[in-house]
Structure 1
Amino acid sequence: MDLNTVTEVRDARERAPWQPGDCWLAGGTFLFSEPQPWIRRLVDLGRTGWQPVTHLPDGALEIAATCTLTQLSRYARTSTAPAAPLVEQCCRAFLASFKIWNLATVGGNLCNALPAGPMISLTAALDGRCLLRSQAGVLRRIPVTAFVTGAGENDLGEGELLRSVTLPARALRRRTAFRQASLSGLGRSGALLIGTLDPSDGTFTLTVTASTARPVRLCFPALPAAAGLRDALAGTVRDDDWFDDVHGLPAWRRHMTFRLAEEVRRELDELRQEPDGRDTRP
């Protein structure tokens, strides 16, 4: 779609005062999908040259905001990290054409803050922390779970930029279980749950997305019993937290969340009991 209100496109490498109507441009798959009448100038990040995926000295993984789905998927297929299969699962949850895969970015998915955003699911489940940069150059880091504040809402200030998301080394060593539900075979996620189990201390974490307006995380010192997980979910997610749109009614989303949560718990329980502790799933 043409953005007929745009009068200028500026290279993000050029320093210039931020103006009303300015908007960061990465992949542009959302910006050009529907009218954006408030935009007057696009600040293009396409030539920043940021490395898509960087392994840090401490073993952490830094994902640039401009990293595309294709680049992230390519990394996942070559990584030996225990959590690497989860990266590919979340990329596939995008259910987009190859054209979108080659343009859509991790940063764009987070900044759009749609409940069904699978990059939100991935980075929230693996303790992701966002690096934000203000127009004055001031940097701040916040967890992904705090960055996404609601459906289509985030914690970005005026002119602030999401530079990258960092996944800590410990999170990449966790065993994972992934579950997704949609009203149709190729439909947008109505519920997407990720469970992780830390092999070093047995910590279990369940991350709920798509069915709720913002990511919800439940942490346990050990894998809970079915009743304990169910009670924790019921006590954490309020009735008005369930998302409501054409892709699923709140009651259905709640039902699927409780059902998928138990499936995740059982899968990780079975994996935990493997004789050598290895993930034997294909």
Structure 2
Amino acid sequence: MDLNTVVEMRDARHRETWRPGDAWLGGGTYLFSEPQPHVRRLVDLSRMEWEPVRMTPTGDLEIAATCTIARLSRFAQDADWSAAPLFEQCCRAFLASWKIWNMATVGGNLCNGLPAGPMISLTAALGGVCELWAQSGSRREVPVADFVVGAGVKVLEPGELLRSITVPARGLAARTAFRQASLYGLGRSGALLVGTLDPVDGELVLTVTASTVRPIRLRFPLPPNADAMREAVGFGIAPHEYFDDIHGLPEWRRHMTFRFAEEIRRELIEEDGR
């Protein structure tokens, strides 16, 4: 879609004063998907030449905000982490064309803040941390689970930039279980839950996304039984936190959340013999 209100595009390498009507341009799959009448200037991140995805010396995974979904998928396919299958599962949850896969960015998916954003699901479940750059030059770190605080609502300040997401080595070593449901065969996720089992202390963490307006993480230091899981989901997610749109009523999303939570518990706890 043509953005006929845009009058200027500038290179993000050259810092200028941020002003109303500015927008960061990564892959552009969201920006160019619908009218953006408030946007006057695009700040192009493509020339920043950040390394898309890399392993740090400490064994963490650093994903640049400009890393495309296709690039992340290819990188994870060659990895030997226990959590490697989760990367492809979440990438496939886009149900997008190859054109979107090769243009859409991980950072763009997080910064849209949509409940069904699968990169939010992936990085929140593995304990990812966002690195944010302010216009003043200051930097701060925010866990992915705290980065999105509502449907389309993030903690970003005006002009603040998501530079990268770092997934800790301990998260990469976790056993994972994935469940996703849509109302339609090629529809947006109505519920997407990920369970992780910590390789060190055996803690089970259930990350609920898509069915809720924000990522919600429920922790179980000891292996939960069915009653404990049901109680944690029932009390840990308030009724108003279930999302409501054309892709699923809150009642259905809540039902699928309880169902998937128990399936994940069984897969990671009972099938593991715990």
TM range (shorter): over 0.9
* 1:33 to 2:33 alignment: yes
Q: In the TM superposition, what is the alpha-carbon distance from 1:270 to its structure 2 partner?
A: 4.3
Q: Give the gaps of 5 or more residues in structure 2.
A: none
Find the counterpart in structure 2 of residue 136 from structure 1. Answer: 136
Residues in 2 aligned to 1:172 and 1:183: alpha-carbon distance in whole angstroms = 30
Q: Give the gaps of 5 or more residues in structure 1.
A: 275-282
* 1:233 to 2:233 alignment: yes
Q: In the TM superposition, what is the alpha-carbon distance from 1:199 to its structure 2 partner?
A: 2.4
Find the counterpart in structure 1 of residue 176 from structure 2. Answer: 176
* Number of residue pairs the alignment of both structures matches: 274
SS in structure 2 at match of 1:32: coil
Find the counterpart in structure 2 of residue 77 from structure 1. Answer: 77
**Does the CA-based 8 Å contact 2:170-2:199 persist in structure 1?**
no
Q: In the TM superposition, what is the alpha-carbon distance from 1:169 to its structure 2 partner?
A: 0.5
Q: In the TM superposition, what is the alpha-carbon distance from 1:272 to its structure 2 partner?
A: 2.1
Q: Once the two structures are superposed, what CA deviation does each residue of 1:129-152 show, in whole Å capped at 9, x if it has no partner?
A: 000000011000010111101001
* 1:42 to 2:46 alignment: no
Q: In the TM superposition, what is the alpha-carbon distance from 1:271 to its structure 2 partner?
A: 4.5
Q: In the TM superposition, what is the alpha-carbon distance from 1:222 to its structure 2 partner?
A: 2.2
Residues in 2 aligned to 1:140 and 1:201: alpha-carbon distance in whole angstroms = 28
Q: In the TM superposition, what is the alpha-carbon distance from 1:213 to its structure 2 partner?
A: 0.2
SS in structure 2 at match of 1:140: strand
Find the counterpart in structure 2 of residue 195 from structure 1. Answer: 195
After the TM superposition, which segments of 4 or more aligned residues of structure 1 sit over 4 Å from their partners?
A: none
SS in structure 1 at match of 2:46: coil
Amino acid at match of 1:30: Y
TM-score w.r.t. the length of structure 1 is 0.96
Residues in 2 aligned to 1:182 and 1:201: alpha-carbon distance in whole angstroms = 33
Find the counterpart in structure 2 of residue 12 from structure 1. Answer: 12
RMSD: 0.9
Residues in 2 aligned to 1:85 and 1:271: alpha-carbon distance in whole angstroms = 18
SS in structure 2 at match of 1:120: helix
Amino acid at match of 1:166: T
Amino acid at match of 2:59: G
Residues in 2 aligned to 1:209 and 1:250: alpha-carbon distance in whole angstroms = 13
Q: Once the two structures are superposed, what CA deviation does each residue of 1:165-222 show, in whole Å capped at 9, x if it has no partner?
A: 0000111100000000110111100000000001221100000000000000000112
Percent of aligned positions that are identical: 66
**Does the CA-based 8 Å contact 2:13-2:48 persist in structure 1?**
yes
Residues in 1 aligned to 2:134 and 2:233: alpha-carbon distance in whole angstroms = 36
Find the counterpart in structure 2 of residue 218 from structure 1. Answer: 218
